[in-house]
């Protein structure tokens, strides 16, 4: 009997707490639900991406259809960001040989150190080669066109040593960290969740 009485008291308290929530449900919903003009968000992203990643041809034409069933602007913007990151991650790209630099800018032992000598070991002038390729490419990623600092850039070989490639500048390709992850990835779906571009775009989502 005592147990039943405690249940009645607890049930009454719960009901008393739920009644205000039901009465003011619309006001509570409005507090957590945000509206806004997603078109300006799309325009801002379009401008940002065209400047930051000029080599990626992002498709904005299907975004309206993507968010048609969502009313909360935060969800709309998040879906848009996820779609654009997906486009970035799956953008078709192949490593290809690049242009060289004038012979006057080459250094002693450049030719000798361009060939593989032992166990895929990088040549002693690798940092010089990487910098020369970075300068040649105007400090930009070969895949997406993003501006990158030398220390944040990655140098990959277009043609691997096992396929007859060498360390000559024509065979060195400069990439940003995101594009390097994508090129080397065995699982794009997992990799795209760790890209810097995702963090940058999510920072623009309405809070």
Same domain flag for 117 and 62: no
Whether 207 maps to a domain, the answer reads no
Provide the number of structural domains found in the chain. Answer: 2
Do residues 114 and 83 share a domain? Answer: no
Do 68 and 110 lie in one domain? The reply is no
Q: What does the pLDDT average to over 135-158?
A: 97
108/85 same-domain check: no
pLDDT in tens, 119-131: 668 999 999 999 9
Residue 92, pLDDT above cutoff 90: yes
Same domain, 144 and 163: yes
% of the chain beyond a pLDDT of 90: 70
How do residues 65-81 score in pLDDT, each as one tens digit?
999 888 899 999 999 99
Q: What is the CATH number of the domain that holds 149?
A: 3.40.1800
Same domain, 175 and 122: yes
User: Are residue 82 and residue 7 in the same domain, yes or no?
Assistant: yes
| CA–CA distances in Å: residue 144 to residues 40, 49, 107 | 24, 10, 30
199, pLDDT greater than 70: yes
Residue 78 in any domain: the answer is yes
Same domain, residue pair 193 and 125: no
What pLDDT is recorded for position 111? 93
pTM for the whole structure: 0.80
Q: Which whole number is the average pLDDT over 104-132?
A: 89
Say how far apart CA 202 and CA 207 lie, in whole Å. 10
Mean pLDDT of all residues in 174-192: 97
Note whether residue 97 is domain-resident. Answer: no
pLDDT at 31: 45
Per-residue CA distances from 136 to 11, 57, 133, 159 (Å): 74, 23, 5, 18
- Specify whether 85 is located in the same domain as 127: no
Show the domain range for 14. Answer: 2-92+188-202
57 and 112 in a single domain? The answer is no
pLDDT at 40 over 90: yes
Share of residues in the chain with pLDDT > 70 (%)? 82
Q: What is the mean pLDDT of residues 45-61?
A: 97
Going from the C-alpha of 85 to that of each of 93, 96, 108, 119, 144, the distances in angstroms are: 15, 24, 43, 37, 12
Q: Are residues 178 and 192 in the same domain?
A: no
Residue 197 lies in a domain: yes
């Amino acid at each position: 009997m005592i147990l039943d009485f405690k249940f009645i008291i607890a049930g009454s308290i719960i009901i008393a707490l739920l009644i205000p929530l039901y009465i003011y449900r619309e006001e509570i919903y409005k507090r957590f639900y945000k509206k806004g003009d997603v078109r300006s968000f799309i325009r801002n992203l379009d401008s940002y991406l065209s400047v930051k990643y000029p080599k990626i041809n992002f498709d904005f034409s299907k975004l309206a259809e993507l968010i048609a069933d969502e009313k909360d602007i935060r969800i709309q913007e998040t879906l848009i960001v996820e779609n654009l990151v997906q486009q970035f991650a799956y953008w078709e790209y192949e490593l290809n040989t690049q242009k060289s630099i004038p012979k006057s800018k080459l250094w002693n032992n450049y030719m000798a150190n361009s060939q593989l000598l032992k166990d895929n070991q990088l040549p002693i002038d690798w940092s010089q080669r990487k910098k020369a390729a970075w300068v040649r490419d105007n400090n930009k990623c070969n895949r997406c066109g993003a501006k990158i600092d030398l220390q944040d850039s990655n140098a990959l070989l277009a043609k691997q040593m096992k396929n007859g490639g060498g360390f000559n500048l024509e065979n060195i390709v400069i990439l940003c960290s995101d594009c390097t992850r994508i090129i080397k990835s065995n699982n794009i779906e997992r990799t795209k969740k760790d890209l810097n571009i995702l963090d940058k775009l999510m920072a623009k989502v309405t809070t």
